[in-house]
Amino acid sequence: MPPSDAVALDNPVDRRPELILRSPTFAAITDAVAEPLEKPTPIGWWFFFLPAVGLLGLLGVAVSWLFWEGIGIWGLNVPVGWAWDITNFVFWVGIGHAGTLISAILFLLRQRWRTSINRAAEAMTIFAVMCALLFPGIHVGRVWVAYWMFPLPNQMGTWPNFRSPLLWDVFAVSVYGTVSALFWYVGLIPDLATMRDRSKTTVRRLVYGLFALGWRGSNRHWQHYESAYLLLAAMSTPLVLSVHSIVSMDFAVSQLPGWHTTIFPPYFVAGAIFSGFAMVITLMVICRTAFKLEHIITLRHFDYMAKVILLTGSMVGYAYGMEFFTAWYSGNPYEMFTFTNRALGPYAWAYWTMVSCNVFFPQVFWFRKARTSIPILFVMSILVNIGMWFERFVIIVTSLHRGFLPSSWGYFTPTIWDVSCLLGSFGLFFTMFCLFVRFVPMVATAEVKTVLPQADPHHVPKGAHAGFGAGQAEA
């Protein structure tokens, strides 16, 4: 009897609940994931893809105009020299972190439920890092000398300053992007081989075959493969924690009240995981419905992800409170002013948007009904991402706009080009994600098969061990 969603959620006591519902065979998993890639493009896909490409075009226009005219086209002014550019950068890097958490940290912790969502979450990471890398690249003003950020010999005979967190950031984010892409590709190889072996056309066979590298499922290969995968997970785990810590040091190492605080590294990492899980939920709600993967990406997965959101959201809320405590306890008038100004000053609207979306609303996830309700999850995931975008905006802009010298206080208002760059980065992200779900298996089929009961070599399907997992034998 195939367990329903409700049974699987409510019955963890008498046996370990099955992660994949409806007790599918191995072949059924392959079919469920591969068939959407083999059918003609569904109409619905175009409803996502075309607007995304439109926004990507907007990004192209905005970035071209930026290169031509300079960063004066944004709303930057003298006290506020960083605004949406760096807000978007930190926002997108943070989104990426949930993918690595799922693929690496949950792998090391043997959380086997991750197998249903890790492929898509890792893809999300790579596309989010692409969006993130865009902003530091274009915000430098003279992009044609952006290579001065790298330790390359240049025409001035100068070298970058390795003692600056901004340079650490260049290395951290580019290493993160590279390692995430490698990790993702290694995970993909067996599934690309599956696609190769199923192909009906020569073109598909050649293209999937090219990237599958001639994988033939050899156990002598699996041994090195699994070892490499484990090691990549073990290295990605400290990497992901280091990346957002270093991003936070872009601020924390400066002397500005509102930035100069030691709580930033753990607070940024928690916030990154918080926003990233929200984005995973947004994407998975759409994908599981669109590709009919409800039995692979189950309500249990959403239940777990909502718990992670509740936990990390509470950590972020704690950090918000602790920032105020530290400001008061420091006795430093500049520090105290910055935080009073943050909550009650001209940007109070942004501050309270952030607190509502990140701390107040996620409390609904104390209730299982909310954690397993697709509409609530979807709305909450979007609210959390709005809140986390505002968090970076609040940290950056409210700290800058009223500094030590009241005569140079100011106010940042975005221009149409700020908005275009932000919307355009979403265009880039969703264009890439649409192409991903159309051409690449979006669930790690080889890994999902390993969590089925019949994948255990000691699982005897017929006769002797009737009971657990009985009747799941293949033909």
Partner 1 sequence: MPSLPMVANLPKGPHYGALAEFATPHELYVACEKVRDAGYTRWDAHTPFPVHGLDRAMGMRRSPMPFIVLGMALIGAAGGFALQYWVHSIEYPLTISGKPTFAWPAYVPITFELGILFGALGAVFGMFGLNQLPMHWHPLFNSSPFEKVTDDRFFISIESWDPKFDAERTRQFLQGLGSRRVELVASE
Q: Which of residues 166-195 bind partner 1 (CB under 8 A)?
A: 167-168, 171-172, 175, 178-179, 182-183, 185-186, 190, 193-194
Is residue 455 a contact point for partner 1 (CB under 8 A)? yes
Q: Which helix (H) or strand (E) holds 50?
A: helix 43-69
Q: Torsion angle of alpha carbons 255, 256, 257, 263, nearest 10°? A: -60
Nearest by Cα to 124 from 101, 90, 99, 107: 99
Is residue 119 a contact point for partner 1 (CB under 8 A)? no
Q: Least distance (Å) from partner 1 to the CB of residue 330?
A: 23
Nearest by Cα to 357 from 413, 274, 284: 274
Site for partner 1 in 201-220 (CB under 8 A): 209-210, 213-220
Site for partner 1 in 236-275 (CB under 8 A): 236, 238-239, 242, 246, 249
| 8 Å CB contact between 365 and 311 | no
Q: Least distance (Å) from partner 1 to the CB of residue 130?
A: 18
Question: Which residue stretch of 349-357, 383-391, 422-430, 457-465 sits at the interface with partner 1 (rule: CB under 8 A)?
Answer: 457-465
C-beta closer to partner 1: residue 1 or 156:
156
Q: Which residue in this structure is represented by tokens 């950056």?
A: 396
Q: Least distance (Å) from partner 1 to the CB of residue 229?
A: 8
Is residue 379 a contact point for partner 1 (CB under 8 A)? no
What number of chain residues touch partner 1 (CB under 8 A)?
72
Distances (CA, A) of 170 to 176, 220, 233, 250: 10, 38, 22, 11
C-beta closer to partner 1: residue 414 or 461:
461
Distance CA 225, CA 223 (A): 5
The angle that helices 43-69 and 118-138 make with each other, rounded to 10 degrees, is 20
C-beta closer to partner 1: residue 355 or 448:
448
CA-CA-CA-CA torsion sign (324, 330, 333, 335): negative
DSSP-derived secondary structure letter, 42? P
Is residue 163 a contact point for partner 1 (CB under 8 A)? yes
Q: Least distance (Å) from partner 1 to the CB of residue 156?
A: 11
| 8 Å CB contact between 262 and 252 | yes
Q: Least distance (Å) from partner 1 to the CB of residue 446?
A: 4
C-beta closer to partner 1: residue 50 or 186:
186
Among 112, 221, 260, 368, binds partner 1 (CB under 8 A): 221
